[in-house]
Structure 1
Amino acid sequence: MEFPVQVALATLVPTLPEGPRWHFEIKLDGHRTVLWRTAEGVRLQARSGRDVTAPWTDLAAEGMALPPGVVLDGEAVVVVDGVVSFEAAQARAASSPARAARLAEVQPALLIVWDVLALPVGDVRARPYEWRRAAMLDVLAGLPSPTRIQAVSATDDREVAQAWYDSLRDTGVEGVVAKPGGSPYRAGRSSGWQKIRHAETVDAEVVGYTGAPLRPRTLAVRLPDGRTALSQRIGARLVAEVAPLLATAVVAGRARTSAGDAYTAAATGITVEVLAGTTRHAVCTVTRVR
């Protein structure tokens, strides 16, 4: 397995699934992060595949206690006043190495792990979820205590998962992810893994933009139903986040949305959240970068 790896993604559904051998994990509001413990050190990877070791050096330092060859998938989170803060995680991810180090001193990050992709013996993604979960817990049990690398809370009891969903929203829990016990770790989006969110949002792939790459006015997004649409004009915060990625994206020329609006098509690797209630319109509202 080579760096970077394509991560597994869950499909958004309205309710928790029912039936045997479902396992449920708390979904926290942070930054998707894959930790690679190499023979030389530790590398951290974002969902897009970018190397994000620099802003999360405190997590990289914790990862040095893992055996070489281990690859873990999880969420980098920052807790502020007892609540998981996406804004704090976003600030860290967007910081220079020097500023990230200062933020880490005040608000150290946690890596909440939900899967193991590789062990010293090799790639284990084809193994069933239940096997990987047990192996992951074994690996994490070998870390010194206390550690900032921790296992996500999980249960095979649907009623417990529903109680989590109903009661933990104010603590920064974004929802619940459901996984069949026999499921492998499959790259890309799969209907086998399901996520139930509190927020009325959907994920959308950024497929282009209007304006200049360093000063985009709107984003062209591919919605879950396959349609493409332009966003409303994005604000300064979103511009600052996406502009560096758009500047390095491979431009494919001019294209038109499903409604006929022109935009610059590009392979960006960016995923954003879009307000679900706006996706039926030609112009939709982007809330944040995932």
Structure 2
Amino acid sequence: MKIGSRLWVLMLVLVMVWSVGCQAVTDTGKEAGQPQEQAGESFPVTLTDGTDTEVTIESEPKAIVSLIPSMTETAYALDLGDKMVGVTTNDDYPEEVKELETVGDMTIDVEKVASLKPDLVLASTMNGEAINKLRDLGLTVLSYEPQNLEDVFQMIRDVGQATGSVEKAEEVVSGMEEEKKQAQEVAAAVKDDDRARVWMEVSPELHTSGKGTFMDELITLAGGENVATDHEGWDPVSSETVVQWNPDVILFTHGDEKAIQSRGGWKKVNALKEGRIEALEGNLVSRPGPRITQGLLHLAEVLYPEAYSDVVGQ
């Protein structure tokens, strides 16, 4: 693969905050759904984050910087928008983030972050060395990289504790759990013989979602069978391999349908024969934040529109 293509794929997956190649499940140091220290909104609050660091938030944060889009979306879902003072150039949701100061992209300007004087920095383990540098400067940093939906729920609860938004966090998680339940009900309404074999691609180089990725979990929860489930992480596969797998549905988060239809040898694939090529909004199915279950529900609708209509409605 050319260097430019490698960088393109890296930015695609990282910008969407996906766990590329990361197979280790985040250990938050407690059972999902259970607070670590305090059950209410009192401070100080002590949490163990995804870097296995014990982080103490001494008082309710008044200024927050986010280093990753999924964390930004989490903060806004918890009604913390008025406390946000900095985000990255990759942040695009909600619309208000475009008015905030930016502190870099996947490369964080540590000095810029410090200049904003945040009480709390929300990060991903993918921010790497920037996390240590910020902590060395005395800043309070909470960092997570959820590997599945349960991890996302716990991350949101933790951020709720860290910001004095415990009740709102429970409200958000409850809504997400309901969306997950609805998707599973759609899947349960489909006969085993009717389950769709799914090919998901996230780059022109045919990188797909193998075992241990968020998208693999979403496909399974929505009642689909991931044709690449025997692969690990995000390794690319050959065009010939996809044709051999012969998926019933092709899902993509890049490019367009015509490009897929024009590939040599693909006309024999069931998905092309049946016209089942569907675009997904990449941010909904890849960012491990509060909208991920919306992506799950949309996936269930795309795979099984009739069952979705019966269970969820129009």
TM-score by length of 2: 0.27
Higher helix share: 2
Q: Which has the higher strand share?
A: 1
TM-score of the superposed pair, with normalisation by structure 1: 0.29
